[in-house]
Amino acid sequence: MGKKPQPEPWFQQLMDQKVPSKKTGRNCLIAFVSGALFCAAAQLFEILLQTYTELDTDTRRSVVLICVIGLVALLTGLGWYDKLGQKLGAGLAVPISGFANSVAASMLEHKSEGMVLGSGCNSFKLAGAVVVFGIAAAFFVALIALLLGAV
């Protein structure tokens, strides 16, 4: 890919004057706090499961993940998640909630084109990249570990 086109400096300067920039610092702080609270809530749920059920650690983690995914899918369907996403940003996008929302939103969006060619084919439209690059990264990390004799 070539160099990305850029407006000429005089226009860039004009845009810098007239167009407000993203509030990156503020957004990062909100994401940090909200993401932490969200994860703490999930952890609390896991502790409750540990206290009140006989489930083993792996099962408890799976239950927590399934509940978070279910909750996010429900919020997406009700049309609330995108409003929360606008406010909390990466605080919701980085945990598994972001992944769940991208799948649920894509499936909902393409419902009108049918279950298979619409919702089915498009479900990983946004999340597909995470799966592909996640698996690729895992492969290379495992390869390096193998070569170093750590496994």
Q: How far apart are CA 118 and CA 112, in angstroms?
A: 7
Stretch of 19-27, 34-42, 58-66, 129-137 contacting other proteins, by CB under 8 A: 19-27
Among 23, 36, 47, 137, binds other proteins (CB under 8 A): 23
How far are the Cα atoms of 3, 139, 143 from residue 146, in angstroms, in the given order? 38, 10, 5
Amino acid at 143: L
* CA pair distance 55, 67, nearest whole angstrom: 15
Q: Quote the least distance from Cβ 129 to other proteins, whole Å.
A: 12
- Contacts with other proteins by CB under 8 A lie at 1-2, 4-8, 11, 14-15, 18-20, 22-23, 27, 76-77, 79, 81-82, 84-86, 89-90, 92-93, 98, 101-102, 104-106, 108-110, 112, 125-126
